[in-house]
């Protein structure tokens, strides 16, 4: 198929087929069920590394819909509406299970008087997860044109946030028995329909620790102070000049040290995040971080009259930067679907599960699942389901295009 010239009429043809027309109407008609399901899943805590309860719930939901489903060895929920023949290429629709913050009580997740969902995780990534279930139910109920559902896979994966380090996707694209069969990924992350993530924002994260003997702030004055050394290292590193291109950022997100105002701490720790659109720039900034740590250690130990400090820099996360080729069919299909639905979306760069397949030259795009959301990565997240069905239709039509025409 000449992708650019035939994608738009192909979307119209798909949308007018009986199965697809009924499925698209259902996604609008079942707004209440979708919102109630969203509320229910977000009430199940799923902080990174502790996604098991939510995974078990998603597994039961997929099975109730008639999908074959299991949990793989890393904790991902894998579900298929129809058995996938061994030779069949797979189109995977995915959404991450984990959240940055988790509700302490079920009542922390609620619907306010304006109909908006409130609470940790309702925007990141409640919309993506409920979209998996809504699309699965639509496909199981109405089928797909050409009976193409045999190539569709739903994945609710672990380890997307923070120190999860994309563990679910690393397994899915690496050691999983399905790895060599997945032809493309449609990654659902958050809300809205106004963006298309085609560039993977790279990052490396470090745990920086200074240790020393500790002591009394008066009687042991002169002992090497890990807090002072850490402060120097942070100041040196955050003074690093960053150019406009490639766009990059540095951040110290966590600092832990000391126990009393009148004591010299025996340990001081910080967690450092380095991000860039360029892998080369990330490596350059990592080298600068090492230099700043060494300089801070030297300064503190030169000042100390006894008890030296020791620095340790441990990498705790790495996400590769990458980019989807401009002429990739998956982007052409999504653009054609957007034209059909009247959606205007910008191409953007962000850090998502799509980083892994893109770095392996596997076609992948990350999009929102519709509606509107805000307050991501805070306890004040919110999600407005108004217009969510537009995002769900976008997902279903794009998946149908991939199933019919392939990703190559």
Condensed to tens digits (0 to 9), the pLDDT of residues 352-361 reads: 999 999 999 9
CB proximity list for 242: less than 8 A, separation 6 or greater: 248, 249, 250
Residue 1 has pLDDT above 50, yes or no: no
The pLDDT tens digits for 33-90 are 999 999 999 999 999 999 999 999 999 999 999 999 999 999 999 999 999 988 889 9
Q: Are 356 and 166 in contact (CB under 8 A)?
A: yes
Beta carbons of 285 and 274 less than 8 angstroms apart: yes
Pairing of strands 77-80, 152-157: antiparallel
DSSP string covering 189-249 = -SS-SSEEEEEEPEEEEEEEEEE---EETTTTTTB--HHHHHHHHHHHHHT----SSS-EE
Q: How confident is the model at residue 95 (pLDDT cuts 50, 70, 90)?
A: very high
User: In this predicted structure, what is the pLDDT of residue 5?
Assistant: 52
Whole-model pTM over 0.85: yes
- State the pLDDT confidence band at 8, using cuts at 50, 70 and 90: confident
CA–CA distance, 81 with 295 (Å, rounded to integer): 57
What φ, ψ does residue 96 adopt, rounded to 5°? -85, 145
In tens, the pLDDT along 96-118 reads 999 999 999 999 999 999 999 99
Topology of the domain comprising 3-200+321-405: Aminopeptidase (3.40.630)
Question: β-strand 195-200 against 322-323: which pairing, if any?
Answer: antiparallel
Domain residue limits, the chain: 3-200+321-405, 203-319
Q: What is the mean predicted confidence (pLDDT) over 306-311?
A: 96
Grade residue 2 by pLDDT with cuts at 50, 70 and 90: low
Rounded distance, CA 41 to CA 109, Å?
A: 10
Q: Which two tokens stand for residue 389?
A: 């069905």
Which pLDDT band, with edges at 50, 70 and 90, does 7 fall under? confident
Pairing relationship of beta strands 322-323 and 152-157 according to DSSP bridges: unpaired
Work out the pLDDT band at 4, boundaries 50, 70, 90.
low
pLDDT bracket for residue 9 (50, 70, 90): confident
pLDDT at 6: 61
- pLDDT > 60? residue 384: yes
pLDDT in tens, 182-241: 999 999 999 999 999 999 999 999 999 999 999 999 999 999 999 999 999 999 999 999
CA distance linking residue 133 with residue 188, whole number of Å: 12
Q: What is the mean pLDDT of residues 357-384?
A: 96
Q: What pLDDT digit, counting tens, does each position of 125-162 carry?
A: 999 999 999 999 999 999 888 777 789 999 999 999 98
Per the prediction, the chain carries an average pLDDT of 95
- The answer, yes or no, to whether residue 395 has pLDDT greater than 80, is yes
Contact 194, 371 (CB under 8 A): no
Spatial distance between the Cα atoms of 108 and 393, rounded to a whole number of angstroms: 30
Instruction: Give the list of residues 6+ apart from residue 357 with CB closer than 8 angstroms, or none.
Output: 169, 173, 182, 185, 363, 364
Q: How far is CA 121 from CA 103, 189, 212, 290, 405, in A?
A: 8, 11, 39, 35, 35
Decide: 188 and 95 in contact? Cβ < 8 Å. yes
Give yes or no for a contact between 86 and 180, defined as CB atoms under 8 angstroms apart. no
**Top CATH class, 203-319:** alpha beta
Q: Are 170 and 356 in contact (CB under 8 A)?
A: yes
């Amino acid at each position: 198929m000449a992708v650019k010239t035939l994608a738009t009429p192909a979307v119209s043809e798909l949308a007018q087929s009986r199965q697809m027309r009924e499925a698209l109407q259902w996604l609008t008609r079942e707004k209440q069920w979708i919102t109630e399901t969203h509320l229910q899943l977000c009430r199940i805590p799923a902080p990174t590394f502790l996604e098991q309860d939510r995974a078990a719930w998603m597994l039961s939901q997929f099975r109730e819909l008639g999908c074959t489903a299991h949990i793989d060895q890393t904790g991902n929920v894998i579900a298929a509406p129809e058995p996938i023949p061994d030779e069949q290429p797979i189109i995977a629709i995915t959404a991450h299970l984990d959240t940055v913050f988790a509700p302490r009580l079920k009542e922390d997740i609620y619907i306010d008087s304006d109909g908006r969902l409130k609470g940790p995780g309702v925007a990141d990534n409640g919309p993506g997860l409920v979209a998996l279930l809504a699309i699965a139910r639509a496909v199981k109920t109405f089928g797909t044109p050409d009976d193409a559902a045999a190539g569709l896979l739903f994945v609710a994966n672990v380890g997307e946030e923070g120190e999860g380090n994309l563990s679910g996707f690393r397994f899915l694209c690496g050691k999983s028995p399905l790895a060599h069969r997945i032809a493309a990924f449609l990654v659902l992350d958050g809300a809205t329909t106004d963006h298309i993530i085609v560039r993977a924002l790279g990052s490396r994260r470090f745990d920086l620790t200074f240790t020393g003997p500790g002591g009394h702030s008066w009687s042991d004055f002169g002992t090497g102070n890990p807090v002072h050394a850490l402060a120097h290292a942070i100041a040196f590193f955050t003074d690093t000049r960053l150019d406009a291109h490639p766009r990059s950022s540095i951040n110290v997100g966590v600092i832990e040290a000391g126990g009393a105002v009148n004591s010299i701490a025996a340990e001081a720790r910080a967690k450092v995040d380095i991000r860039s659109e360029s892998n080369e720039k990330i490596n350059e900034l990592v080298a600068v971080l090492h230099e700043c740590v060494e300089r801070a250690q030297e300064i503190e130990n030169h000042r100390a009259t006894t008890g030296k400090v020791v620095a340790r820099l441990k990498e705790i996360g790495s996400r590769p930067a990458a980019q989807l080729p401009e002429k990739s069919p998956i982007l052409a299909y999504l653009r054609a679907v957007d034209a059909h639905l009247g959606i205007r979306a910008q191409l953007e760069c962000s850090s998502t599960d799509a980083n892994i397949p893109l770095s392996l030259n596997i076609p992948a795009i990350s999009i929102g699942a519709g509606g509107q959301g805000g307050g991501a990565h805070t306890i004040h997240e919110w999600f407005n389901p108004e217009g969510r069905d537009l995002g769900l239709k976008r997902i279903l039509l794009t998946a149908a295009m991939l199933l019919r025409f392939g990703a190559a």
